[in-house]
Structure 1
Amino acid sequence: MSTRVSYPVEVKMKAIEMRLQGFPVKQVMEELNIRNRSQLKIWMKWYREGQLHRLDQPVGKQYSYGKGPEFASETEKLHAEIRFLKQQIDVPKKVQSVGKDVDREVATSFIKHHVELPVKLVCEILNISRATYYRWKKHQKSEQNETLVMLIRQYCMSHKFRLGYRKITALINRTIHVNHKVVQRIMQQYGLQCRVKPKKRNLIGQPSTVAEHILKREFKAERPLQKLVTDITYLPFGQQMLYLSSIKDLYNGEIIAYTIRSKQDTDCVLDTLNQLPELPSDCLLHSDQGSVYTSNTYQDAVKQKGITMSMSRKGTPADNAPIESFHASLKCETFYLDRLTCTTTAIVEQTVREYIYYYNHFRIQAKLNNQSPIEFRKLVA
């Protein structure tokens, strides 16, 4: 362990002068044999803040120098001693009587309102410990809180819980000053909130049953109907908003079921689910954590069909990439390509049905050896 080095004031002033003249830090350290760059940095900080007297401080008193009993002159020292003696005479007169102990409430109030005096000093004058003072202070605060709770409860009950914490605070501030955050915290803690307009929580979108992420982005299947993915997409191209719910088989990328509805509800996804053919016992259906998929009704229907449910992680659409890719292709290769961004509802439905038929029967895919999904399934079978 290295020992501390004490540098003379002359060396410190010389280092400051060289830095002010533009000498590099490395050169100053080499010429004056200064070990650490941080020491030079501290000396420059003291110079900029006008604290050159700190250059005289001994090693190891960096944090207490100038804050303790050191004084710039004898006159200042004498004034401090006179002030200390005066405090020893005045303080006991204010907090105690002759022949009596220190009054707890008066002592805590005195120390609180005389911030210019250190707590430790006043406690020594009163012949009490700092722990005793803080214990009295805590007890006094507890009593004040009990009084405030009773006052808040009284106002809330008298107004039949029609007022919130802001108006309760305004009523209390007529007599005593209190922060609105304190009133709000007490009202929440003791159940004294306004009951006229209770907070309403919308349960739509809050999951009822969230399945485990079983698929884990393994988008290859060894046989048909082994791994299925499903999702809902918007179709904002007609006179009203439409929604497309579709199910894709990861074996050959075929869209095996789909539904077009004007509402994004549980009936829409149930209709798509009921279009599935007879499924094997190890069939896996993957979706996101949408409210329609996490609903108890949909989960019961999935269990009745003997399907194992899998769901994407929250906020991770890439976990359901195949069906997301299909929906993107559908919009890009039809509505955006043909500029059908503002048309009739009937044309939107017709366009989607024709594209899905084209996608399954004629649109070749490189991963299927440049065959369409249905061609690939027939050849393998």
Structure 2
Amino acid sequence: MEAPAAAPDRGGDRIGALPDGVLEDILGFLPAQEAVRTSVLARRWRHLWKSAKALRVVGGDGKFLGSVKEIPEFVDYLLLSRGGAPLDTFDLRFGNFGDFGFLGFSNEHFPSLKIWLWYAVTHKARVVRLRLHNNFEGRHALPELGGLRLVSKHLTRLELHGVGVYSSFSDFSSCPALEHLEFNKCEFKLVNKISSDSLKYLSISDSICGFYDSFCTHICAPNLVSLRLDEVYGGTPVLETMPGDGRDYYVLLKGLSEAKKLALFSYPETYIFKRDLRCCPTFSKLKSLLLNNYWSEPDDLHALACILEHSPILEELTLHLFFEVPKNVEEMKGSPDPTELSADISEFLQTVKVKCEVFDEDVHNVLKFLHKLGIRFEQHGVLAEDGPGTT
């Protein structure tokens, strides 16, 4: 008869028994302020935080650093103390410090910002995030990333929030692994081109791209598969069609014509898409299309008709008949009737989804338009002439 297994020892230092490499990974999930505090736990912990794989510094919004003036000194201390230890993630997030009249950060707050960023990429960081509070309404100068060109074979993801970007910084050709790039609440100061051969995902939101419509920032990213432009003020960025000799530039839709999946959301006052539709390209590879109410306004169904006509292999169409997502959404599903499908739309179309807040006259008109193209819906009698509510 075997003796019963001994009960596991529930005492002792379970965390301290872990290898140094595991502890360094764990410390990387803590804000840097807390990671540094572990140095007083025991002799072994004194320097472990200096080799943490991630460096995350947070301040403002009630976080550890209570004063704007503490940030530069603390970050400089961190980087000097770490020495040459490699990084995986470098994450700086500084919110609102609550000072009366504080509109956001400027160069005066972060004189070493470019040095911090340079430190991250030269220490092999794959992910870099800079998120700095700002308020565009204050019209103050943002912390600037100028005179710096990133060179890194390790960087894969870069997220910037609340900084000023110059042309010298927007050339990412020396970052061959970069695939994900985000700009939020940034100001592009005479940036002629955002260029990257490796980039796959690009997002520019709530940002300023020049102050004149005559000046446009060009996007040269031949391997781009996802582009988000949301509330971009000034000149709308223009996609370059690749390959090319660098001299022929095209409007936005032309640059998207090779996409397999598109989500195009816009607001009524935006004119860039309507202008592009005058010379609408053919979306020869497009299989999935998501549009918001901009494309199906009651008096302008031409926009919807045009983009459907120029999508010859489209398989899935989704219409969000609203500009802001409502709390309650009604969804109607439709499918093409092969015997009545219009020659003006894709013969490969399989599903159509229409989402709306309420079934009103505008929605009714869109469904009638789709019905004329040979698309039938499970709900609502769209052929009725007496408007919504008829079944």
Provide the TM-score with structure 1 as the length reference.
Answer: 0.22
TM-score by length of 2: 0.21
* Structure number with higher relative contact order (C-alpha < 8 Å, ≥ 6 residues apart): 1
* Higher percent of residues as helix: 1
Counting strand residues as a fraction of each chain, which structure ranks higher? Answer: 2
